[in-house]
Amino acid sequence: MIYSVCTIEVPPARANDALSGLSKAIEAGRLGAGELRACWYSEIGRLNRVLAVAAYPSANDLEAANRAMLTSDDPFGVASVATAISLETYAAFPGVDFLQPGDVGPIFEVREYALRQGTVAPTFAAWQKVLAARTALSPLAIVMYALSGSVPRFMHIWPFRSLDERMAIRADSVKRGVWPPPGGLPLLETMRSEIFLPAPFSPLR
């Protein structure tokens, strides 16, 4: 499985318009062979952004869907409102699958990291050591590494019931020594964290 991460930037107060257009495009089958896994809008961090994640059986399927979407007269159903659209491709860390659809939020923390060159495999290893212990405390939506754009880079997404729950679970995970992954911090160059809320039609919400 390969993942498409589409980020749509809009003017202030236009996120709902983008979500409406994107929803209609998805209902019309504009994702091709893709399956929507999540759609969220930013609440804390860089604002006025919509993030949509879709899963594809193969890179060829993803490329075909992107080509068809981009050559249409209304890419992603947001041509009238989007100020920018970015498309990135990711693959999940070994042994990790996207969390099954359901009501697990509504707080979704999206964390992105730039890695030192040549450290993707060591990052896999660091995560593997603590992933079971960390996900016993709260579910992981996905952790995946970029196959396009600036590399090496990876993203992980965690759902929480509230910001207070997020703080409590993170503190507990640090106390237990299962977070951050031991040995992982020296591999990082930069990090960024943002909070998203789910669109009404998001499978993961």
Regions of the chain where pLDDT drops below 50:
none
Say if residues 21 and 91 touch (Cβ distance below 8 Å): no
Distance of alpha carbon 100 from alpha carbon 49, whole angstroms: 24
Query: Which pLDDT score, from 0 to 100, does residue 81 have?
Result: 97
Say if residues 157 and 111 touch (Cβ distance below 8 Å): yes
Query: Which pLDDT score, from 0 to 100, does residue 184 have?
Result: 92
Query: Which pLDDT score, from 0 to 100, does residue 50 have?
Result: 98
Query: Which pLDDT score, from 0 to 100, does residue 172 have?
Result: 96
Q: How far apart are the first and last CA of the chain?
A: 21
The reported pTM is 0.95
* pLDDT, tens only, 36-88: 999 999 999 999 999 999 999 999 999 999 999 999 999 999 999 999 999 99
Query: Which pLDDT score, from 0 to 100, does residue 137 have?
Result: 97
Go through the domains of the chain in sequence order and give each one's CATH number: 2-91 (3.30.70.100), 96-198 (3.30.70.100)
Query: Which pLDDT score, from 0 to 100, does residue 165 have?
Result: 98
Pairing mode of beta strands 188-198, 35-44: antiparallel
